[in-house]
Amino acid sequence: MNGLRHLYSGKVRDLYEVDEHHMLMVASDRLSAFDVVMHETIPHKGRVLTALTDYWLTSMPDVPRALISCDPRVIDTYVAGFLECSEWHGRTMLVRRAEMLPLECIVRARLAGQAFDEYQVSGTVHGMKAPVGMSLTDPFPEPWFTPSTKATTGHDVNISRDAAVAIVGSETVDHIEAFCGALFQRAASAMSAVGLVLADTKFEVGVIDGQLVVCDEVLTPDSSRIWPRDGVTPGVTPPSFDKQPFRDWLASQTWDRTPPPPPVPGEIVQTTSERYVAAYERVTGLSLDAWYGNE
Rounded distance between C-alpha atoms, residue 82 and residue 4, angstroms:
11
Domain boundary assignment for the chain: 1-97, 99-231
Digit-coded pLDDT (tens) for 138-151:
999 999 999 999 87
Q: Which residues contact 55 (CB under 8 A, 6 or more apart)?
A: 280, 283, 284, 286
Confidence label for 267 from pLDDT (cuts 50, 70 and 90): very high
Architecture of the structural domain at 1-97: 2-Layer Sandwich (3.30)
Rounded distance between C-alpha atoms, residue 295 and residue 286, angstroms:
17
Cα R_g (the chain), whole angstroms: 19
Q: Do residues 146 and 113 lie in contact, with contact meaning Cβ atoms separated by under 8 Å?
A: no
Q: Do residues 112 and 76 lie in contact, with contact meaning Cβ atoms separated by under 8 Å?
A: no
User: Is residue 152 pLDDT above 80, yes or no?
Assistant: no
Q: Do residues 108 and 39 lie in contact, with contact meaning Cβ atoms separated by under 8 Å?
A: no
The sign one gets for the Cα dihedral 86, 87, 90, 96 is negative
**Whole-number pLDDT of residue 40:** 97
Q: Span 274-284, mean pLDDT?
A: 96
Rounded distance between C-alpha atoms, residue 28 and residue 145, angstroms:
29
Strands (DSSP E) contained in 12-66 are 13-17, 22-27, 30-33, 36-41
User: Is residue 203 pLDDT above 80, yes or no?
Assistant: yes
Rounded distance between C-alpha atoms, residue 292 and residue 295, angstroms:
8
Amino acid type, 22: H
Strands (DSSP E) contained in 117-187 are 124-125, 128-129, 139-145, 148-149
Strand partners, 17: 5, 23
Digit-coded pLDDT (tens) for 208-258:
999 999 999 999 999 999 999 999 999 999 999 988 889 889 989 999 999
Question: Which CATH code of 3.30.470.20, 3.40.640.10, 3.20.20.80, 1.10.260.40 fits the domain covering 99-231?
Answer: 3.30.470.20
Digit-coded pLDDT (tens) for 68-127:
999 999 999 999 999 999 999 999 999 999 999 999 999 999 999 999 999 999 999 999
User: Is residue 50 pLDDT above 90, yes or no?
Assistant: yes
Strands (DSSP E) contained in 179-274 are 196-208, 211-215, 224-228
Confidence label for 2 from pLDDT (cuts 50, 70 and 90): low
CA distances from 188 to 174, 227, 273 (A): 21, 11, 24
**Whole-number pLDDT of residue 73:** 98
Q: Give the pTM.
A: 0.95
**Whole-number pLDDT of residue 100:** 96
Element at 109 (helix H, strand E): strand 103-110
